[in-house]
Every structure is written in structure tokens, then in C-alpha cells.
Amino acid sequence: MKLQNTMVPVLMASAILVSGAAQAATNPAAPGTTSTGDIDITLTKNEQMQISDLADIALAVDSTGGATGTTNVCVFRSGLSGYKIKATGDSDLGGAGSTGTKFGLNPPAGDFGPTIEYTVTLSDGTVTDSPLTPGVDLSLTSANTADPTCGGAGNSGTSVTVTVDPAQYTAASNAAHTGTLTFLVSPE
């Protein structure tokens, strides 16, 4: 019992010391006819990035005998316009014998055909058809710094193009080959 009675004042004194140390404001020492106190105010804005205006792509046969499709991309960065973009696919082709520069479309379930290779390029106000490599950052300098939506759908000025070359298109089975492409944007 004696130990408990000793602990209560120690705990109360600790709580008073902790709460007193946490205060940064200036408070008057004694009451008066008027009173003035100061507080410090801090606003910390963390850098923000956003990728938007993406749409699913249904590849269509092009004039080369391959297939291609494009979607807009809006990249916003608060502050500076430099950024990095990295693309990864659910079937990236970087295994033995591969150059590691291709992405892959999966054959349908039960189809033992090959994974269909495709390439991804990015175009914006500073680069045209710059290739993306699976899992590798591409540095760019054209992020929108004023509007997280780049002015609305279709106004981004940046696009991503997916291309299946003619040989890969010919090798594909007569079915829907699918894949997911994921983009990560980060400050440069």
C-alpha cells in the first residue's frame, strides 16, 4: 500500500512536467487588467504528386500489321515540374534471353500460347515516343504545376502508347490477351 501512495504523486508530477514542456506558447505570469499571449503557427505543405486522366486501352490493328493504342496521362507536381515515371506490368518480360525492355500480355486462362510482348512509349511537350523499360525510371521535366487535373480529361498534353509489333500480333492466339500496366510517378 505504501508503494502505491508514493507512485501517485510521482506520476502526477511527471504528467505536469510533460504537459508544461510541450507548450511553446507565451503566457502571462499573473492576471492583470489586460492580458497578452503569443502562439507560434506553422504550416507545412508536403510535396504532392498525382497521375490521372488514364483510360483502359483496347489495342487495334494498325497499318504495320501490329496493334497499337494510346491513352492520355496527366502528371501533376506541386512546385517544380521535374518528375520520374516508372511503369511495371503484371507480365514483364525480363527473364533469361530477354533484353528486359518488353512488357507482356497474358494469354487467356487455359491457353498455353506465348505471352505477347508489347512496348510502351511516352510523349509530352518535351519528348516524343520515349520508351519506358519495365521497372526503370524515366526522367521528365513537364509535370503540370498548376492543376492536378491538367484542365480536365484530354487536356494533359501527355500520352502513353502501347504497341504490339506485327510478329507478336501474328503469334497471338485468337483470344483476348490481357495485362495491367501500373505507373508510379515521383519527384525528380
Domain residues for the domain of 73 are 64-187
C-alpha dist (Å) from residue 89 to 11, 119, 163: 56, 11, 14
Look at residue 125 in the predicted model and tell me its pLDDT.
77
Predicted confidence pLDDT, tens digits, the chain (188 residues): 443 443 334 334 444 444 444 556 778 788 889 998 899 999 998 999 999 999 999 999 999 999 999 999 999 999 899 999 999 988 766 544 445 678 999 888 888 888 899 999 999 878 899 999 999 999 999 899 999 999 877 667 899 999 999 999 998 989 999 999 999 999 98
The domain that holds 158 is classified in CATH as 2.60.40
Task: With respect to residue 59, please indicate whether it lies within any of the assigned structural domains.
Answer: no
For the entire predicted model, the pTM comes to 0.75
Q: Which three cell numbers stand for residue 137?
A: 525510371
Task: With respect to residue 114, please indicate whether it lies within any of the assigned structural domains.
Answer: yes
DSSP line for 9-75 = HHHHHHHHHHHHHH--SB--SS--SS---B------PPP-EEEE-------EE-TTSSEEEEEE-EE
Task: With respect to residue 47, please indicate whether it lies within any of the assigned structural domains.
Answer: no
Whole-number Å distance between alpha carbons of 185 and 188: 9
Task: With respect to residue 83, please indicate whether it lies within any of the assigned structural domains.
Answer: yes
Q: Which three cell numbers stand for residue 44?
A: 507545412
- Three-state secondary-structure class, residue 144: strand
Question: Would you give the DSSP letter of residue 170?
Answer: H
- How many domains in the chain? 1
